[in-house]
Amino acid sequence: MSISNYGLSDIKKEVQHLSSAQVAELCLRLARYKKENKELLAYLLFEANDEHAFIEKVKAEVGFMFSQLPSQSYAAAKSIRKILRLIGKYTKFIASKQAEIDLLVNFCYNYLQYTDRKSGYKPLRLILTRQVLKVQTLVNKLHEDLQFDYHQEYNTLLDEAEKKFPWFYKNDYLL
């Protein structure tokens, strides 16, 4: 026996027929089972009305996590991946490309500030290059006016990375 999978449209139609008390009961029951569901519900209820303040909180948390980065390359790479998972979760909550770009550019600047310049550990280097490429594709997906706004910030990031790391070539990532 298997449980039927219903699509989002089916669920939406069914929820419209329920009373607000029943919907509240379902939301609380859903939040009880998974930590991420509870965090999303908390964001939507308490933080979503002031997105800018939430982004600033996330940036502060990311900055603190970077300041606690271990000196060993392997452990640093693991910690940086943990930071990226956190950023990914919060960008899913916000569901805005501009917010994702802001958080990823902030991540890259923190990476430049806190990682070891002399490190030759390839996984650690790949983290930065992947995030730069991700920012590049996100900027290209934006409207032309917004692209212009982020273009200069992105190029500044590339200049800083090329100055700090001998293995980073900004020409590979230009828009």
Domain ranges for the chain, please list them.
9-49, 52-172
Q: Is 169 helix (H, G, I), strand (E, B) or coil?
A: coil
> Cα(first)–Cα(last) distance of the chain, in Å?
53
Q: Given this model, what pLDDT does residue 2 score?
A: 62
Residue 113 scores a pLDDT above 80: yes
Q: b/e for 113-149, b at 16 or more Cβ within 10 A?
A: ebbeeebeeeebbebbbebbebbbebbeebeeeeeee
Residue 117 scores a pLDDT above 80: no
Residue 4 scores a pLDDT above 90: no
- More confident position, 109 or 144: 109
- More confident position, 117 or 159: 159
Whether residue 22 contacts residue 62, with contact meaning beta carbons closer than 8 Å, is answered with no
Give the range among 64-78, 93-107, 120-134, 161-175 with minimum mean pLDDT: 161-175
| Average pLDDT, rounded, for the chain | 90
Residue 17 has which token pair? 């027929």
pTM given for the model: 0.87
Q: Given this model, what pLDDT does residue 120 score?
A: 77
Q: Given this model, what pLDDT does residue 157 score?
A: 93
Instruction: Give me Rg for the CA atoms of the chain.
Output: 20
Q: What is the pLDDT of residues 25-72, one digit of tens each?
A: 988 888 888 899 899 888 988 998 999 999 999 999 999 999 999 989
Query: Can you tell me the mean pLDDT for 141-158?
Result: 89
